[in-house]
Each structure stands twice: as structure tokens, then as C-alpha cells.
Amino acid sequence: MSDKRLTFKKRLHILKHHYRDKKMAPAFNAIHTFLFSPDDTTHSGAHVRGADDLKRTMNMVIMALIPVLLFSMFNAGYQYYAAIDVANNVSREFSLWENFLTWDNFWIGIIKVLPLVVVSYGVGLLVEFIFAIIKGHEVEEGYLVTGMLVPLIVPIDTPLWMLAVAVVFGVVIGKEVFGGTGMNILNPALTIRAFLFFAYPTWMSGDKVWVYQAVERTGTPDAISGETVLGALAQNHLAELNYSVSDMFFGFIPGSVGETSTFLILLGGLFLIYTKIASWRIMVSAVIGSLVMGYIFNLVVDLGVISEASNFYGLMSFEYWKHLLVGGLAFGIVYMATDPVTGSQTNNGKWIYGFFIGFMSVMIRVFNPAYPEGVFLAILLMNVFAPTIDHYVVKANINKRLKRFKNATILPKDSDSRAEELKAETI
């Protein structure tokens, strides 16, 4: 550490004391602690407590998201050029170095994905700053992760002003009205997505929004299309699906900005489990839940109850394990369902909570073609139920222990050999 940096830090400290008790203090402190670690740790909110403070925890999640973000920037360009080739009837062979990791692709990522990130952080942090100054508390770090998640779960062509409106709504209604970070019932990033989905459905679903410029080119001779796998399945366009399983797994498919690469999401998930930031119970049970539901649907198809003309046939006959590879299910399970604030807190509760997220995501996918992606609705629904699940898990535990207490052998007070035996047995 050089002398210069120390003096800079010192100056910041002096400034901090200078601004103490002023109205602007929270805004200043937020910038200060963004660069340098504060001398205190998280002391409020319903968070899991650890030796490391909230900002460090959030930075871990951000680190797990960076590969996904970089991949999405390349994929944005790749999908764009692939769609143009399809429109021009040019056949295209996938090659990682020649037509995926190229500057052309990355450039489209820079002009389309980076603005989403900038708007998300800019607007979200502005709202946080305003609220911190009004309420007179420190700026909460809660938006760090949300701000990174939001651009990854929207379609690439989402107009920036819509994103800004949705972020204001999500942060204010989804979080600040409940008391800020740690107090929110619903996951703010998903609140933002839900708002976008219901407010501007034409920009959030269909076969045009997933590829750069597809909307602008509609109706022109250069029209391109990029239907997601789920979108095609929901409309029984089975013949149009020419993505291989490895395309789906590594993420070379159209979709929301960051949701496509199951492979990188898996790596991010393993990283989060390794660093003990996210709950492996929720992830595993959500995967089990989605597999169970998908398998049930496959069985129904095998029984021949559903005809091929049925609206549900496309998604019902989709092999159960492939549900995890397409759409936002994997992304939702790893980064959204495991949110420590809105998820279940008890270990048994986490199993139930996760299972139903997976179970219902696939159910919504299949049964409601208007919502080809059900994972955000499933997680929001389970967010609402998480406290109820915890309540019953805690109550069940109390009952279990009460029962054990009633059946327990009362130890005799004098220490004869029988009592020693009983004691050993009971303990």
C-alpha cells in the first residue's frame, strides 16, 4: 500500500467526520465505503449474520455473475448475426473462436447490454441515495446484486426508459416501502421483471424481443426472428427447434440477456455454494422439483392422454431434464431463489421452498402458454409463502421436542448405577 493511498483514505475519513450529521452524510459514506472497508459490520436487518459484512457477501454474488454477463455480451452479437444468416438462408456452423468470441459480437454486447447495466445501477442507486437521505440512514448495499441481476433477466431490446421506470417501481414498492434492504418480502429484481412483464408485455414476450434489432426490422425485407426455445414449444412449433442439447447447455440460444448459459450459471452456483453465500438446499430441491414436475408431464404424454394437437403438447412432451437447460429456470434457481432475505430461513423450510419453486415453474410453463417462462412467477409466489413455511417448520420442531420431552425418562436424583445407565441412554 503506497503512502498516497493512505493519505487519500485519511482524507476521506476526515471528510467523513466533517460531513457527519449533515444531510448529505449517507450519500458520502456510501461512496466512501464502496472504496474502503468500513470499520463496522452489518448490525440490522433480518440477514444471516456472518463475520463478513453485507457488502462483501454481495460482491461474491457479483463475482459469480460476471462470467454470465460477459457471456451474454458475446451471445447478444452471436444471436444477432445468426438470425441474419437464417433470414438470408445462409447455413451457419458454430465455432467458438471464429464466430462466437469475436469483437463484432462483443461490440453488440457493449452497445446493448452495457447500457442496461448502467441504467439499472444508475437509477436504482439514485433511488437508494434519495431514500437514505430522506430517512437519514446509511445507503444500503441491497441494490448491488439487484442492479446486476436486473439487466440479465430482461430481453436485450428492452427500451432503457422502461427499465428505468421498472427499477424505480421495483426498488420503491418492492423494497423501500417495507423498510429497505433485509425487510423486503419480494425479491426486488423479480419485482422489476414482473412489473415489466405486466406493464409492457409486448416487449417481454413473443418471438421478436430476444434478438437485437428484431423488433425494428419487423415488416421490412431484412426481418429477423429469434424465438426462444420455450416460446417455440409453447406454440407447438416443434419443427423450428434446431438447437442441440449442447447449444442449450452452453447457452448459444436466444433468451433474456443472461439466462441462456446453463453451464456458466452452474459454475456460478458451485462458486456460491463453495463460498457458502447461497443455500445448496434450495438449489438442489428446486432442481428436484422441476425434474419431478417435468417427469409427471412426460408420463402424461406417454399415457397418450394428450393429443398432438393439444396446446400443451409441445411443452409437455419436452424431456423433463431439458427444462433446466432452457429459459430462466437455472438462472432463477441459482441467483434468485437463493436470495437470503426473501427465501426460507430454516433448513427444512428451504427444501420445501425450493421444491415448490421448481415444481411450479415447470407447471406454469406448461399450463399457461401466455407465460412461457414461469420461474419468476413461481419464485415471487414462494417468496410470499416463505414466512408461512418457516412458521410451520419451527412449529413442527417445537412439537417434536415437546413430545420428546414428555416421553423422556425422568432421571432419579441420586446417582445409582441405574440412573447412570438411563442418563447415558437418554443423552
Partner 1 sequence: MALLSKKDANLIKDPLADNNPITIQVLGICSALAITAELKASVVMAVSVLFVLGMGNVAISLLRNIIPSKIRIIVQLIVVATLVIIVDQVLKAFAYELSKTLSVFVGLIITNCIIMGRFEAFALGNGPWRSFLDGIGNALGYGIILVIVGFFRELLGSGTLFGFPVLGNPIDKTGLYAFGYENNGFMIIPPAALIVVGIIIWVQRSRNKALIEDN
Residues forming the site for partner 1 (CB under 8 A): 159, 161-162, 165, 173, 177, 195, 198-203
What's the distance, Cα to Cα, between the start and end of the chain in Å?
A: 54
The sign of the CA dihedral 88, 92, 98, 99 is: positive
**What is the residue whose three cell numbers read 467526520?**
17
Is residue 26 within 8 Å of 136, Cβ to Cβ? Answer: yes
**8-state DSSP, 340:** T
> Minimal distance in Å, beta carbon 165 to partner 1?
8
State which residue, 199 or 396, has the beta carbon closest to partner 1. Answer: 199
Which of helix, strand or coil describes residue 317?
Answer: coil
Is residue 196 within 8 Å of 163, Cβ to Cβ? Answer: yes
Q: What is the CA radius of gyration of the chain?
A: 25
Residue 225 CB burial class (10 angstroms; 0-12, 13-18, ≥19): middle
* Integer Cα distance of 129 and 248 in angstroms: 40
> Minimal distance in Å, beta carbon 164 to partner 1?
12
Is residue 80 within 8 Å of 106, Cβ to Cβ? Answer: no
State which residue, 199 or 305, has the beta carbon closest to partner 1. Answer: 199
Q: Which amino acid is at 245?
A: V
> Minimal distance in Å, beta carbon 324 to partner 1?
30
> Minimal distance in Å, beta carbon 115 to partner 1?
14
> Minimal distance in Å, beta carbon 199 to partner 1?
4
> Minimal distance in Å, beta carbon 200 to partner 1?
6
**What is the residue whose three cell numbers read 412432451?**
317
